[in-house]
Chain A
């Protein structure tokens, strides 16, 4: 049966729907109930629709369309192929959860009017969709910049605060530097044909040097958007500044558009990447992963902590991309496919789990008005829904089976463990060491998440105000449940997910992940290597162990849960302030990885009357790269400042001299 609309048409209709929904908010821009309770759920429905369309058509051949609109004489080309479908499905599914949560989250009196916020939000979603569909450089850049600007306005929705304005500025600055690099990369990719459609770029023949330059520029440009070292600095500033659903979208989905961009340029537009290019993203990715997780451990603001955790995950993703390039370049197709599948899988997983966690912090922030970990605690009693659903996300992102985070990290580690077969000396010795770093990052990520969950939800409330915290509303719960469900399902059915990703890997590197003869509940990514994973079996074992333990506890000891004060070692007074703090949790990491930080410490002596303890953990890269760079730019700008005389006759003289000079040159 022929459907009425082709999948591409359906995607276009849905993306237009987002714009319409956003514009509808402008009709009654001050009306929170209309915007939040009607429009945002509508946006979520569109997201579900997009996920269904993209997911259902995943394996269909690519289709394309040329729009009538666009720049003058340069109509926009769009194309829907398996790679864009994968990411569109990610966009639709993750944004659905975020949108429905946002419907319950946005309230009156938060900076930007709700209608305007709704417009920016839905434009942001639609522009991400168009980034994924674009099939020429113009359309791509227009969508890419719309995405950057829309998200900038969302980040600065509380623009009354100066630190939020400066965070927004930093974000916009790095986004633009990245966009320039991407633009230059496209400029190289067209290869002298001056045709900026992606088809022309696929056909263009580039010399190895130029191809490498295009790859490097694309890596830098997209890396700036993703938060790859050393352009990661905007993430920990922008995410705490943005409203939580926006942080969720930016971290969960927008960073993935950068991953999409790298994949698109490397495997699709450049065609055959050289194997050694892959070493750059591997090294950068590993550094980013370790850096991100170590800094996450030292944070005391829960949204900053999650932002650094996003940096870590981006590092893992780029490591995977690099590995795929290396394996593909040396002709080890099976491992290249494995690494690529790990990347795609992890991108989807991270979209779900990080959105879930950011929304969880949003709910906590709403209930308590606190982002500082030092003033939270014990919220599991007051907010059970949020706590348990966040726990799912926490377990997933820590890479614990049977949830989704485990699967993708496991796949990546598998790919790493066979990297000693790369037929190049040194590389085959050093690459396996990367596996150790990935494992270290994963372990530290679990540590960070224990800290995050433990300090926020467990123990005793650290402030008396926390007793009045309320649980999330109905729409917010729905959003959290949606995302948590995604985490669980993606974890339980990895074989099916990987099957579905086959079309994308075929498009990118021309081979499908082998499934061998393993049963549907079993994942065996490399059939000839004796590795397999059966999440359902594991889940069953966990369930059985839990059930048995609980039965044993209840029946054998015959005791119900008893609440009593903790043993205080005979010390007279124990209060909530004596619990382990976020700083305390981070201390060992700060100590071990001292070289990463620039620390400012104020320690009280034993005899202080008013003891104060203060640690400010700074980023060395900020001091090593950004401050000198900013200083130099400032100096150049200052040296040009005399141009601004303030006198009209001076300005007229500038025009006159310019005119005469240009005329003389023409002469």
Chain B
């Protein structure tokens, strides 16, 4: 378990790129590009996992890297692309907060996330503990992405990005969750996307649009 400085450099680069991709997702309005960014995030995650697996010699990390590749780089993006084509939603409408505003909120969140991660990082014994702050930041940024979007499709992408952040956090804090948990989460995500896909069709059928403000009429009137 000896990390050379090059390994750490590489890992930290991956982490930094992850954060960058998160910001890119926050600002991207084309849904096709959003899905591509998600795939990119998955690739980075996969690379980081592989590197970690090779360096620490934890074999189960290879498995989770393979899982990430299959699900987050290939499977889900493909599924989403297909949905986009069939539903013909290529653009999200104007987000609720404009781009610079969202970026500013994102910056504050990142600062908060790093502040939050500091005590956790001190407790962790892993070489990658510095990346915990980035993982928390990715989670919170994905959350903001979900909040600011109007189209259901973008929210699903945000949700998946959040899952990526969680996965990365678990990896950098403890070298990955137990295999059972990981498999369970992966399956959950897959099922969630499938179910949401069905929902999209239902929503469009009902409202002739995937814009979520149509759902506002569902509140209880006083």
> What is the interface of chain A, defined by CB distance below 8 A to chain B?
638, 641, 644-649, 652-653, 655-656, 659-660, 663-664, 667
Contact = CB atoms under 8 A, between A and B. Distances in A.
Given A647-B213, A648-B155, A653 B147 contact: yes
Nearest to B216: A646
Given A649-B149, A652-B146, A659-B143, 12 more contacts: A641-B220, A641-B222, A645-B216, A646-B215, A646-B219, A647-B215, A647-B216, A648-B212, A648-B215, A649-B96, A663-B116, A667-B116
Contacts of B147: 649, 652-653, 656
Nearest to A646: B219
Contacts of A659: 140, 143
Given A652-B146, A660-B140, A663-B116, A644 B220 contact: yes
B140 A646 contact: no
B119 interface: yes
A667 B219 contact: no
Given A659-B143, A667-B115, A649 B148 contact: yes
A639 to B, nearest CB: 11
A660 B219 CA distance: 26
Contacts of B216: 645-647
Given A641-B222, A660-B112, A667-B116, A647 B143 contact: no
Nearest to A654: B147
A647 B96 CA distance: 11
Nearest to B118: A667
B201 to A, nearest CB: 18
A659 B222 CA distance: 29
Contacts of A664: 112, 116
B98 interface: no
A638 B218 contact: no
Interface in B93-115: 96, 112, 115
Contacts of B96: 649
B135 to A, nearest CB: 13
A644 B219 contact: yes
Interface in B119-175: 119, 140, 143-144, 146-150, 155
A647 B115 CA distance: 31
B217 interface: yes
B215 A656 contact: no
Nearest to A655: B143
A64 to B, nearest CB: 39
B143 A638 contact: no
A647 B212 contact: yes
A664 B119 CA distance: 12
Nearest to A647: B216
A583 to B, nearest CB: 41
Given A656-B143, A667-B115, A667-B116, A645 B215 contact: no
Nearest 3 CB-CB pairs, A to B?
A646-B219, A646-B216, A652-B147
A647 B219 CA distance: 9
Interface of B: 96, 112, 115-116, 119, 140, 143-144, 146-150, 155, 212-213, 215-220, 222
A645 B219 contact: yes
Nearest to B139: A659
10 contacts: A638-B222, A641-B220, A644-B219, A645-B216, A646-B217, A646-B219, A649-B212, A653-B147, A656-B147, A667-B119
Contacts of A655: 143
Contacts of A648: 155, 212, 215
Contacts of A649: 96, 146-150, 212
A667 B119 CA distance: 8
B119 A646 contact: no
A597 B131 CA distance: 73
B193 to A, nearest CB: 17
B48 to A, nearest CB: 24
Contacts of B143: 652, 655-656, 659
Contacts of B148: 649
A363 to B, nearest CB: 45
A650 to B, nearest CB: 9
A444 B115 CA distance: 75
A643 to B, nearest CB: 10
Contacts of B218: 646
Instruction: Find the residue from A638, A659, A663 having the highest chain B CB count within 10 A.
Output: A663
Nearest to A663: B116
Contacts of B212: 647-649
B194 to A, nearest CB: 19
A653 B97 CA distance: 13
Nearest to A653: B147
A645 B155 CA distance: 18
B209 to A, nearest CB: 14
A644 B115 CA distance: 32
A77 to B, nearest CB: 34
B158 to A, nearest CB: 9
B140 to A, nearest CB: 7
A658 to B, nearest CB: 11
A660 B146 CA distance: 15
Contacts of A638: 222
A656 B220 contact: no
A652 B218 CA distance: 17
Contacts of A644: 219-220
Contacts of A660: 112, 140
A645 B219 CA distance: 7
A653 B147 CA distance: 6
Instruction: Find the residue from B115, B143, B147, B218 having the highest chain A CB count within 10 A.
Output: B147
A535 to B, nearest CB: 62
Nearest to B149: A649
A648 B219 CA distance: 11
A123 to B, nearest CB: 34
Nearest to A641: B222
Nearest to A642: B222
Contacts of A652: 143, 146-147, 155
A649 B213 CA distance: 9
A642 to B, nearest CB: 10
Contacts of A646: 215-219
Contacts of B217: 646
B116 A656 contact: no
A646 B222 CA distance: 13
B202 to A, nearest CB: 15
Instruction: Find the residue from A641, A647, A652, A660 having the highest chain B CB count within 10 A.
Output: A652
A649 B220 CA distance: 17
B120 to A, nearest CB: 10
A115 to B, nearest CB: 34
Contacts of B219: 644-646
Contacts of B149: 649
Contacts of B146: 649, 652
B31 to A, nearest CB: 17
